[in-house]
Amino acid sequence: MPAQNALLGDDFGTDLPQAQPDVSSLAEEKARAKFSKSKEFQDIKKRWETRIEFYQQYLPDGRPITKVPVKDLEGMWIVAATIIAEFRSEIAFYESVREAVDARPEDK
C-alpha cells in the first residue's frame, strides 16, 4: 500500500491532507461558520490570498521566480507550492464549515 501524504510510496508528491471539518459538537461547528462570515475572517482570508499571490510570483526567500535559474528553482518552488496549498486548505476548511451549516435544513 502506498504511503499517503508522504515522500515514500507510489504516490510521490507534496499533496497535503484535505482539511475536513472535524468538530466535536454542533455548537463548535456553528461558531466556526459564524466566524467564517465575520469581518475578522474576511481580513485574515484577504491576508492569506495576498500571501498566495506573493508565493505565486516569488520564492520563499523573496527572489522573483523569473530571476532564478531553472536548475535552482525546483526545491524552492516545491516549498512555495506547499505554502500556497496550506493557505488554500485553511480557506477551504472555514468555507466548507460555513457551507455545511448553511445547508442544514434544521438551522433555517
Q: What is the pLDDT of residues 43-59, one digit of tens each?
A: 999 999 999 999 999 98
CA-CA distances (angstroms) from residue 63 to 27, 32, 60, 82, 84? 45, 36, 7, 17, 16
Bigger pLDDT: 36 or 20? 36
Q: Is the pLDDT of residue 101 over 60?
A: yes
**Global pTM?**
0.66
Q: Is the pLDDT of residue 10 over 80?
A: no
* Per-residue confidence (pLDDT) for residue 106, from 0 to 100: 65
Cell reading at 15: 499533496
Q: What is the pLDDT of residues 58-92, one digit of tens each?
A: 988 888 988 888 888 888 888 889 999 999 999 99
* pLDDT mean across residues, the chain: 80
